[in-house]
Every structure is written in structure tokens, then in C-alpha cells.
Amino acid sequence: MSKISLSKCFVNAEVEEAALRAIRSGQYILASECKAFEAELAAHTGTTQCVLGSSWTMIVYLLHQLQGVGPGDEIIVPSHTAFPTMEPLIHLGARPVFVDIDDTYCLDLDQLEAAITPRTVGIIPVYLYGHPLDVDRVLAIAAKHHLWVIEDCAQAQGAKYKGKTVGSMGHFGAFSFFPSKNLTVLGDGGCITTNNTQMADRLRMLRNHGRQGKYDHEFPGYNVRFDEIKAAIGRVMLKHLDGFNENRRKIAARYTERLKGIVQTPPVREWATPVYHMYVVRCEKRDELQKFLKTKEIDTGIHYPKPNHLQPAVTGLFPYIPKLPRTEQAVKEILSLPIHGEMTLDTADKVCDAIAEFYGKK
Ligand SMILES: *Cc1c(COP(=O)(O)O)cnc(C)c1O
């Protein structure tokens, strides 16, 4: 039996040819492939603007700087997310204010308003594992308190809320192309989507040394640019994204059908079209199950084992440690099962068989 991996990066001849095309073009940074990739990403998301950057973390850092995020500001984030969600704001001197999760692992909107103070400037809802939250509710709360919203879509490329693609509803959407994500460029990368042309223009300048023309620098910027080879690869990947997401939903449906009553399967809200960046179950004897699956050559993961509000990087800076009981409970019980765009139902069945065997339900 061959090893079943947690995720897999798509590569085919078309991807390789795209990379070759970029190599042979003689242009390597922010040229025609990047422009086309930005236009295609904006069109796919349903925004007028998309700005590529070297990673989610760096392009969000630049965005926060343009938003004027600074010391004294509070930004609401879940603790149950990838650590980068809160890194840029911390670097700018702002404070992450953590709110607990609901059963979809997104911000618990019943607790959101109570976390808002006169210092709050924005909210970063994370669509963890590829399931959106109730965006209309977040936007209504944000509007009432004059807050901005950055949708963290790093795990949710192509997911929909009431038929609208994520990254098009908040003031900004933030995406990552890290190789494990649903949409990759076979390297690091990220982007911001928005309908705010003025901010997009300034972000394009800030990522490229504050330039307008080649030697006209309006303000000091950075080098957070994007490469032609990765853009050419990303354009091919984007064409396959919806198909791969559809396959992920098929795999997820099979998991849910077969694992019901054995482990706790992930809930789906009626307004959500999730993209299952991860298929995460909750279970008893999680660590033993993970070890057992390893003996069957089935890879699993824990996303994430240690909540961010308990990370030394956070507790060292912000001595007040909030109580987030659902987050702290979840990290002991969650297990991410293998899933990717090309996975077959047959492989999913093997994973289900092994889990059933572990719990003696075969
Ligand atoms: C991967 C990820 C990020 C960071 O993306 P990078 O491109 O690696 O900087 C941010 N938020 C979430 C939820 C992620 O999964």
C-alpha cells in the first residue's frame, strides 16, 4: 500500500510550460505575467483590483501600514488560526484582541461585539480550513462601529458565501499562495483583493520602493514584489482551482457520509460553499488515532496544536491572557485528514476504513 499524504501540490506539463515561457520571456519581475495574473485573480474573486506580493504576511504588513495601523490600535482576530494572521499588526505595535471560535472554527459572532472597544480599528475574520463565516453579520457590526474588515482567505480560495466569492466582501481580501494552499504558485506569494483603487495603487507603489516611474520615489517603500515565473505558474493553477475545489467537496462529502457516528465531522452552514483546504474531524483518543493512521501510512495533521494566544511570541508582548475555552478544547481534539484537488474517492475510503478499524466500528 502506498503512502497517503495529507496534501499534494498539482504539477503537470502545462505548469512546466508556463514556467518555461516566463523564463524565455527575459522579464522576471512585475511584468506581463504578473499583470495578467492580477487581472485574472481580481476577475475570479469579483473585485476590480488585485495586488500581488511576496507572501500573505508581507502584503498584509504593507496594507496595515497604509491603513495607519499603529501603537494603541486593537484588531480582532481568532486565536485559532495560522500565526501569520496576527504577525503584521504586532510588528506595527497594534494589539491582537482574541475572540473564541464557533463550531465551524471561525470567529464566534455572538462574542464579537463584546470585544470591541474605543481602540478597535478592524476585524480580521479567518475562513479557517476553507469555510467562510457569516460575512453579512460581520460587515454590519463593522459598519456600526466604523471598523475595517480584512478577510483572511489564505485557506479559502474560491469559497463562497451566499454565492459571492470570498475576498470580495470585506474592505480587503488577503490570499496566500504557499504550496500547501488550494491555489499555489509552487513557491511563496500572496495578494490583496479590493475595490478600493486608491489603496490598491498605493499598495503597488509601497511594494516596489514607493515608485511611480522608474526613478520617481514618492515615499520610502519596500521590495515585496512578485516574480514572472510564479505568476505564469499561478495563472495555470487558477484555471484548475474551481475543478479542484469541486473535487475537495466530493472527497469531503464521502468522508462525512462514512465517518458520521465514528468521529465528529465538520459542519457546513446553509449559506456556505466551503473549499476544504483541510478536512478536520474532532475525536476521542486523537493522538492514538494519529499514531495508528501513521502505521497505516496515512498522513494527518493538527492545525494548530498550540493556540496563538498562548504562544510565547504573544504572551511575551501582551501579558493579559484571555480565556478561550472552545479554542483550547478544539486543539486537543482536531485532526486534519488527507485531502487535495486530485485525491480519489478510493483513497478517501481507505482513510475511512482505517479510522473505522481504530474505533472498532468495522
Ligand atoms: C498560510 C496562512 C497565512 C500566511 O500566508 P503566507 O503566504 O505564508 O504569509 C495567513 N493566514 C492563514 C489563515 C494561513 O493559512
Distances (CA, A) of 247 to 132, 186, 276, 342: 18, 20, 10, 7
Residue of 46, 28, 50 whose CA lies nearest to 37: 50
CA dihedral 211, 217, 222, 223 (to 10 degrees): 50
Residue of 140, 137, 172 whose CA lies nearest to 153: 172
CA 300/CA 73 separation, integer angstroms: 38
Q: Measured in angstroms, how far is the CA atom of residue 247 from the centroid of ligand 1?
A: 23
CA dihedral 18, 193, 96, 141 (to 10 degrees): -150
Q: Does domain 240-358 have CATH number 3.90.1150.10?
A: yes
Q: Measured in angstroms, how far is the CA atom of residue 358 from the centroid of ligand 1?
A: 33
Q: What is the pLDDT along the chain (362 residues), one digit of tens a residue?
A: 689 999 999 999 999 999 999 999 999 999 999 999 999 999 999 999 999 999 999 999 999 999 999 999 999 999 999 999 999 999 999 999 999 999 999 999 999 999 999 999 999 999 999 999 999 999 999 999 999 999 999 999 999 999 999 999 999 999 999 999 999 999 999 999 999 999 999 999 999 999 988 889 999 999 999 999 999 999 999 999 999 999 999 999 999 999 999 999 999 999 999 999 999 999 999 999 999 999 999 999 999 999 999 999 999 999 888 999 999 999 999 999 999 999 999 999 999 999 999 999 87
Count the Cβ atoms, other than its own, within 10 Å of residue 92.
17
Domain map of the chain by residue range?
A: 13-235, 240-358
Hey, which of 63, 155, 180, 188 would you mutate to test ligand 1's pocket, going by the most ligand atoms within 8 Å of its Cβ?
155
The closest residue, in CA terms, to atom 5 on ligand 1 is 56
With 0.75 as the threshold, say if the pTM is over it.
yes
Distances (CA, A) of 85 to 34, 64, 162, 231, 306: 25, 12, 24, 23, 15
Q: Measured in angstroms, how far is the CA atom of residue 303 from the centroid of ligand 1?
A: 12
> Do 240-358 and 13-235 have the same topology in CATH?
no
Q: Measured in angstroms, how far is the CA atom of residue 180 from the centroid of ligand 1?
A: 10
The CB-based long-range contact list for 316-322 (8 Å cut-off, 24+ gap) reads: 317/90, 318/95, 318/96, 322/79, 322/98
The closest residue, in CA terms, to atom 11 on ligand 1 is 85
CATH class of 13-235: alpha beta
Which atom of ligand 1 lies closest to the CA of 57? 9
| 110-121 residue pLDDT tens | 999 999 999 999
Q: Measured in angstroms, how far is the CA atom of residue 154 from the centroid of ligand 1?
A: 5
Hey, which of 77, 80, 85 would you mutate to test ligand 1's pocket, going by the most ligand atoms within 8 Å of its Cβ?
85
Distances (CA, A) of 24 to 15, 130, 184, 238, 274: 14, 36, 22, 22, 38
Which atom of ligand 1 lies closest to the CA of 188? 7
pLDDT at residue number 361: 87
CA 329/CA 348 separation, integer angstroms: 27
What lines the ligand 1 site, CB under 6 Å?
A: 55-57, 81-82, 84-85, 126, 152, 154-155, 176, 178, 188, 190
